[in-house]
Amino acid sequence: MDTDYANISLTAKLTAYMRQASDIPFAKEVARFVHADEALETLLQAQQMRLEEILWYAPVFEVRYKSIASTIRKSGIKQVLELASGLSLRGLAMTQDPEIRYTETDLAGLTNEKHSLVSTLREHYHLEDQGNYDLTVANALDLAQLQAATRTFVSKQPIAIITEGLIQYLSVEELETLARNIQSLLMTYGGLWITPDFSLKEDANNTSEQQKRFRRAVAGATGREFYASAFDSDEQMQAFFRNHGLSLQALNQVDEVSEIVSLGALDEVSLSIWNRIKPKLKLWILRLL
């Protein structure tokens, strides 16, 4: 699993490309640092696709990021653990509030890359290191590593566990492991699991040919099948997490966001696609039963 998981760094670069059209903190700097333009151009050329065919992803990634940050703030939780965080720097932005402790985890390659990036940003923006933001090597499917990643958290105070853009790459068995790991952490600390990642097979398959081509390209580059762990129905999804001692609450991501800056970068066709998909953009909040 480790090798495949590390290869998903490509999708982190593609996400970085799309986020630079927004006002997400540090998004433009991240995209430049990892040469996101080059990564996307290489992928598009290989599939003979044009940027305009996938530009509607920009607001998708923007509202996903912003709805998670908004939900964390509304929860009042001050300890956050983000799993497979990729090139997101949500923790660096949120820990400008000294009351918040935020740990971002990923495998070694991406984590080392982020250490260098964060150091550069701290120097450029004169951001003080207040000791409340950590970048830690940990595999989301290894409970011992996740427990070690929470070593700086205060016990018996709730945590928010974030997974963004991970679960669509997992098999059913891997999702089982992830759910058990997160349940274990929530039993220790209490709190929430916040994620936009769950999918129904019907929705995952009901996509345009361009989107299917792009997914195939990313799947080929990462070596991971898309949506292998998608659920047959909402009832099956509810039962799956009930069996892991968790309850589900669904929000619409767009409802949690006050402004979507990247919409200004879309053409008429991309806007029409966005308007069709935005009602389906859910954010799930899970709690212990």
The confidence band for 8, taking pLDDT boundaries of 50, 70 and 90, is: very low
| Residues ≥6 apart with Cβ < 8 Å to 61 | 15, 18, 19, 22
Q: In one letter, which amino acid is 258? A: S
* Separation of first and last alpha carbons in the chain: 30
Helix (H, G, I), strand (E, B) or coil at 251: strand
Residue 172 scores a pLDDT above 50 = yes
Give the HSE-up count for residue 146: Cα atoms under 13 Å, Cβ half-sphere.
Answer: 27
Give the residue carrying structure tokens 């952490």: 185
pLDDT digits (tens, 9 = 90+) for 177-230: 999 999 999 999 999 999 999 999 998 788 777 777 777 777 777 777 788 899
Helix (H, G, I), strand (E, B) or coil at 261: helix
Per-residue pLDDT, 215? 77
Cα separation, 241 vs 287, in Å, equals 10
**Predicted structure pTM score:** 0.94
Share above pLDDT 70 across residues of the chain, in percent, rounded to a whole number: 97
Give the HSE-up count for residue 89: Cα atoms under 13 Å, Cβ half-sphere.
Answer: 27
pLDDT digits (tens, 9 = 90+) for 271-282: 999 999 999 999
- What length is written for the chain? 289
Give the HSE-up count for residue 37: Cα atoms under 13 Å, Cβ half-sphere.
Answer: 6
Write down the H helix ranges in the chain. Answer: 2-7, 9-19, 27-33, 36-47, 57-75, 90-94, 108-125, 143-149, 172-189, 201-205, 209-222, 234-243, 268-277
What are the two backbone dihedrals, phi and then psi, of residue 115, each rounded to the nearest 5 degrees? Answer: -55, -45
Q: Is the dihedral of CA 240, 243, 249, 254 positive or negative?
A: negative
DSSP 233: -
Could you tell me which residues are beta bridge partners of residue 80? 102, 160
Q: In one letter, which amino acid is 232? A: D
Helix (H, G, I), strand (E, B) or coil at 1: coil
Q: How far is CA 231 from the centre of its chain?
A: 19
If one counts every other C-beta atom within 10 angstroms of the C-beta of residue 133, the result is 22
The confidence band for 22, taking pLDDT boundaries of 50, 70 and 90, is: very high
Nearest-CA neighbor of 230 among 257, 279, 197?
A: 197
Give the residue carrying structure tokens 């800056």: 261
Question: Do residues 255 and 38 make contact, with C-beta atoms less than 8 angstroms apart?
Answer: no
pLDDT digits (tens, 9 = 90+) for 105-114: 999 988 988 9
pLDDT digits (tens, 9 = 90+) for 73-105: 999 999 999 999 999 999 999 999 999 999 999
